Chain A
């Protein structure tokens, strides 16, 4: 019974993944016969490609910021909206709402909000007299990556909050009562009960957010195409542009291998850190 699905999966996931390994040892424009170059793509990537290191830096920064802020905010709002009162349920519904939109729609909305001339953000800053904050958000190398981080966090915080709420509601109320008897204040209760008890949920949230941040392709492709001056270029956009704009399929395949290694390394690292802590 599992055979049809497995055959399809083997043919369209596993087999292409192996092909990708093969392509990574070639120089190929996608049209004429690929030329075998051994490990030259990899050595070029490591020794001779400033853009690749810039992109790696961007991707690490992007992932790290999204993970920190998205996890932090979703935990914060989960704690604030933990009780099932009517108002809380309404706010949860509202906060979850961006999750159902398409990345392209979200990108379009933020393209307008960030617009240097017409965007609501700059209008707001100008109105309250903080003209210095009215930047060219997506057009400047210093702010573009952060602007996209903000959009990504806006997009998915509600989803992670709901996961946290489900996790936090499992914590037995007696633990809080005991802490209160011991005279623990809100912060101490968070430190000694909520945080340690929520660690398994945190592990799930961080793991998912990390993978999600590698998938931010749609958002970045629509908003900046990796620009300006590659300041928002991350692995997925770089691979796309190398293959389908520059037609260097072999080189892009080699970049893909690095992205996979990085995802695997991060997954391993998180498991290690969160497990030893728990």
Chain B
């Protein structure tokens, strides 16, 4: 009995800690600043879109949104392609070079890519890759490559060897085996990894902050920092920008919940 009460209480507290802030943000994006300050938790008088209109008119939020979509999808696509090829090769090779490569990739797992912020900034400055989507995509690929290779290698290792051997006897090249056997079989693992990568890239702040200074090249998280400066005391604008940045993720989360949870936990477990 006591256990049941304590359990319900604990669960309710944590649930409220998530629900209340979410409602404040959702409602807040439809309120004026005055309404937010006076009663942050109440329902808005009406679901007016004034804040959204103001934000779209006074900022480049639409451009920022498009930039984020472009950079994120390109980064995810190329990372998946490179990582799956590498993971497939590494899972089938047992020689020394594969071992060395694997060890070097695991270095990138143990030591987060943030440690390279200075040398990467210098390098990209020299290569004129600042303020460039191409540069940002390259960084995204490199920072997420090790973890993706890890997740996918452990998946490819679990595939039965006979599958490969049969097709090898038939004379299929390694690329063919990768394309027509390994890839189709790895759809669930690739899907989970894709979501994991999508969330990381969509949300990243550090490297856009270092590499992008031009307003029309900024990604959403970076632009949100500017909104914070511009609308310092205007939480209605800030909440509206939080909504614009989060709604795509929330929709994806609600429609593909299983893959989301699988992806974001695989990222942690294999890391």
Residues in A lying within 8 Å of B, measured CB to CB: 1-2, 4-6, 8-10, 12-17, 19-20, 23, 30, 73, 76-77, 80-81, 91, 93-105, 108-113, 117-118, 120, 123, 154, 157, 159-160, 162-163, 166, 186, 204-205, 207-208, 211, 214-215, 217-218, 221-222, 236, 239-240, 243-244, 249, 252-253, 256, 259-260, 263-264, 267
Name the B residues within 8 Å of A118 (CB-CB): 36-37, 40, 235
Name the B residues within 8 Å of A20 (CB-CB): 115-116, 118-119
A109 touches B25 (CB 8 A): yes
Q: Any chain A CB within 8 A of the CB of B210?
A: yes
B235 touches A162 (CB 8 A): no
Of B41, B111, B245, the residue contacting A102 (CB under 8 A) is: B245
Docked CA distance A129–B238 (Å): 30
Nearest residue (CB) in A for B222 is A104
Q: Which one of B55-63, B134-142, B163-171, B186-194 is at the A interface?
A: B134-142
Name the A residues within 8 Å of B70 (CB-CB): none
Assess A1 versus B110: contact at CB under 8 Å? Given A105-B224, A120-B41.
no
Docked CA distance A17–B123 (Å): 11
Assess A263 versus B253: contact at CB under 8 Å? Given A17-B115, A96-B261.
no
- The smallest C-beta distance from A72 to any residue of chain B, in angstroms, reads 12
Known contacts A15-B119, A160-B268; 18 additional CB pairs below 8 A are: A1-B89, A2-B89, A4-B85, A5-B145, A8-B141, A13-B113, A14-B107, A94-B15, A101-B203, A109-B242, A112-B40, A118-B37, A123-B40, A186-B3, A211-B110, A218-B204, A263-B111, A264-B111
Of A117, A120, A249, A260, the residue contacting B115 (CB under 8 A) is: A260
Q: Interface of chain B, helix or strand or loop or mixed?
A: helix
Give 28 pairs: A residue, B residue, CB < 8 Å, sorted on A: A1-B175, A2-B85, A5-B86, A17-B115, A20-B118, A94-B15, A95-B14, A96-B264, A99-B199, A100-B199, A102-B221, A104-B205, A104-B224, A108-B238, A109-B21, A120-B24, A163-B265, A163-B269, A208-B271, A211-B110, A211-B271, A215-B112, A218-B203, A222-B205, A239-B117, A249-B122, A253-B119, A260-B115
Name the A residues within 8 Å of B98 (CB-CB): 2
Name the B residues within 8 Å of A263 (CB-CB): 110-112
- The smallest C-beta distance from A75 to any residue of chain B, in angstroms, reads 12
Nearest residue (CB) in A for B19 is A94
A112 touches B235 (CB 8 A): yes
B37 touches A1 (CB 8 A): no
Assess A9 versus B89: contact at CB under 8 Å? Given A17-B116, A104-B205.
no
Nearest residue (CB) in B for A242 is B118
Name the B residues within 8 Å of A6 (CB-CB): 86, 101, 104
Docked CA distance A19–B241 (Å): 38
A105 touches B24 (CB 8 A): no
Q: Any chain A CB within 8 A of the CB of B108?
A: yes
A163 touches B268 (CB 8 A): yes
Name the B residues within 8 Å of A111 (CB-CB): 228, 238
Docked CA distance A215–B107 (Å): 16
Name the A residues within 8 Å of B210 (CB-CB): 244
Assess A243 versus B117: contact at CB under 8 Å? Given A162-B261, A264-B110.
yes
Name the A residues within 8 Å of B89 (CB-CB): 1-2
Q: Any chain A CB within 8 A of the CB of B180?
A: no
Assess A16 versus B224: contact at CB under 8 Å? Given A5-B149, A105-B245.
no
B114 touches A102 (CB 8 A): no
In this complex, how many residues of chain B approach chain A with their Cβ under 8 Å: the count is 89
Q: Any chain A CB within 8 A of the CB of B46?
A: no
- The smallest C-beta distance from B49 to any residue of chain A, in angstroms, reads 20
Q: Any chain A CB within 8 A of the CB of B18?
A: yes
B205 touches A221 (CB 8 A): yes
Residues in B lying within 8 Å of A, measured CB to CB: 3, 7, 10-11, 14-15, 17-22, 24-25, 28, 36-37, 40-41, 82-83, 85-86, 88-90, 98, 101, 104-105, 107-108, 110-123, 138-139, 141-143, 145-146, 149, 174-175, 178, 199, 202-206, 209-210, 220-221, 224-225, 228, 235, 238-239, 241-242, 245-246, 249-250, 252-253, 257, 260-261, 264-265, 268-269, 271
- The smallest C-beta distance from A93 to any residue of chain B, in angstroms, reads 6
Docked CA distance A103–B178 (Å): 36
B85 touches A1 (CB 8 A): yes
A9 touches B108 (CB 8 A): yes
Name the A residues within 8 Å of B21 (CB-CB): 109-110, 113, 120
Of B113, B225, B238, the residue contacting A112 (CB under 8 A) is: B238
Docked CA distance A204–B266 (Å): 11
Docked CA distance A159–B253 (Å): 13
A5 touches B205 (CB 8 A): no
A16 touches B235 (CB 8 A): no
Name the B residues within 8 Å of A120 (CB-CB): 20-21, 24, 40-41
Docked CA distance A252–B114 (Å): 13
